[in-house]
């Protein structure tokens, strides 16, 4: 990855790669997760604390192969789980389906189940060696014979092991191979020789895609996004230009929502049904209720909460603010640390001045209030229900309900003064040129 950050903490759709893997295990019925880490153990441990369920961490001090890595979690395996799923932390596209299929094979009596796939070019992958419909061995590329290298069914790296056999099989794995490592894949042959059932299931190639560099990271992101967009559209969401919409791992979007081109959903976004998100909008940590309208070119930051039929228009930024039912913040405005009442109208160029250099303060605008264009509301301040703030005002004190507030200097015109100023400036400019 050429990165100071451990590979498995790089993100797909805003979630660390390894968290995607853990989520797939949970979706397939996994109740406990053991995470074997090496490089960047402290950083991975810290990130993993937020997973659901939080994994038990084991450190592989020496890199002696995949079999050795799995046995680093011996204490977890020894607890007697019915099924053990072994997954790579850098395969974020795996879904519950192939894992559940492998578990089903265990339920039918197999001791070991390998998840395989058929890549366009099998070079570099371990081959699945089958005989009479049974899996008898996995041969790593370096150890494969010419005939075995022609096999197109390859090891996807994912394995299910019956809990009652797991430690006995793992303890028999040796390192008599070209690299002198303990290959997890050797338990297939060990189990077969012991007369235990060994089977293979098949997953699509993209599901077992491993990530080793930034190019593969981008490829995995593209696949994940394509899947999520299709899922959204099949659930009743209209994406006008699907390939330009970016979802996060936890984006929630309801039926009959309409999303225009070039919209970015960061983590923590909940969009109700019947919402329109116009083009080039950016949302993160925001909630948008039924019938609301956002954008184009709007930014909803964490804590933005739009109630039913609210409108946030073009070039508006909202942060940690509630926009009431039917309220309008139509253009060129910043609303931060605020509560905007139902049916209020916020004019163009309005700013809630929420930060004094030391702390954030709250602005409250009442129901049906009207804030004229180019106004600054200096927090903490309250504008009452149905109050009217004149355009261009700087409001530093509370405005009572139904009041009309002016916070600007009285206009004064000086006849002929503009001509005098022009002549003075022109003379000064001419003098500088001499």
**Catalytically annotated residues:** 331
* Separation CA 5–CA 10 (nearest Å): 7
Half-sphere exposure of 18 (CA within 13 A, CB side): 28
**Parallel/antiparallel/unpaired status of strands 270-271 and 287-288:** parallel
**Parallel/antiparallel/unpaired status of strands 83-86 and 154-162:** antiparallel
Quick one: how far is CA 236 from the chain centroid? Answer: 21
Phi, psi dihedral angles at 14 (to 5 degrees): 85, 5
For residue 321 the two structure tokens come to 């603010």
Phi, psi dihedral angles at 114 (to 5 degrees): -110, 135
For residue 323, the cross-strand partners are 306, 340
* Separation CA 240–CA 295 (nearest Å): 15
* Separation CA 317–CA 354 (nearest Å): 13
* Separation CA 37–CA 41 (nearest Å): 6
Strand, helix or coil for residue 57 = strand
Q: Token pair 């504008």 is at which residue?
A: 383
* Separation CA 354–CA 337 (nearest Å): 6
For residue 363 the two structure tokens come to 């602005």
Q: Token pair 């799923």 is at which residue?
A: 85
Strand, helix or coil for residue 174 = coil
Other CB atoms within a 10 A radius of the CB of residue 237 amount to 21
């Amino acid at each position: 990855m050429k990165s100071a950050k451990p590979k498995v903490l790089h993100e797909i759709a805003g979630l660390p790669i390894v968290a995607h893997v853990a989520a797939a295990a949970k979706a397939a019925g996994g109740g406990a997760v053991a995470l074997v880490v090496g490089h960047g153990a402290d950083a991975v441990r810290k990130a993993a604390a937020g997973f659901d369920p939080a994994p038990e961490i084991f450190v592989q001090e020496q890199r002696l192969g995949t079999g050795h890595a799995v046995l680093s979690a011996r204490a977890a395996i020894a607890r007697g789980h019915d099924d053990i799923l072994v997954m790579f932390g850098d395969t974020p596209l795996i879904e519950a389906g192939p894992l559940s299929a492998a578990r089903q094979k265990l339920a039918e009596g197999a001791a070991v189940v390998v998840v395989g796939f058929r890549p366009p070019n099998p070079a570099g992958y371990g081959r699945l060696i089958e005989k009479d419909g049974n899996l008898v061995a996995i041969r790593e590329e370096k150890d494969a014979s010419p005939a075995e290298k022609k096999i197109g069914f390859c090891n996807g790296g994912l394995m299910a092991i019956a809990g009652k056999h797991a430690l006995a099989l793992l303890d028999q794995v040796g390192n008599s191979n070209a690299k002198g490592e303990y290959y997890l894949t050797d338990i297939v042959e060990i189990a077969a020789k012991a007369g235990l059932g060994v089977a293979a299931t098949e997953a699509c190639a993209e599901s077992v895609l491993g990530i080793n560099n930034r190019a593969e990271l981008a490829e995995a992101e593209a696949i994940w996004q394509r899947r999520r967009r299709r899922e959204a559209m099949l659930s009743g969401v209209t994406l006008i230009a699907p390939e330009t919409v970016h979802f996060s791992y936890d984006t929630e979007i309801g039926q009959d929502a309409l999303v225009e081109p070039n919209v970015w959903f960061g983590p923590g976004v909940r969009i109700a049904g019947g919402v329109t998100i116009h083009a080039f909008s950016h949302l993160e940590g925001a909630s948008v209720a039924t019938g609301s309208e956002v954008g184009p070119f709007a930014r909803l930051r964490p804590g933005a909460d739009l109630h039913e039929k609210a409108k946030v228009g073009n070039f508006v930024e909202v942060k940690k603010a509630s926009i009431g039912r039917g309220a309008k913040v139509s253009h060129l405005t910043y609303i931060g640390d605020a509560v905007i009442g139902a049916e209020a109208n916020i004019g163009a160029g309005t700013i809630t001045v929420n930060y004094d250099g030391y702390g954030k303060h709250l602005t409250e605008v009442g129901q049906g209030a009207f804030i004229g264009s180019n106004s600054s509301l200096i927090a903490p301040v309250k504008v009452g229900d149905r109050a009217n703030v004149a355009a261009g005002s700087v409001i530093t004190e509370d405005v009572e309900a139904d009041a009309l507030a002016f916070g600007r200097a009285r206009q004064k015109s000086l006849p002929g003064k503009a001509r005098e100023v022009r002549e003075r400036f022109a003379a000064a400019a001419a003098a500088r040129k001499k």
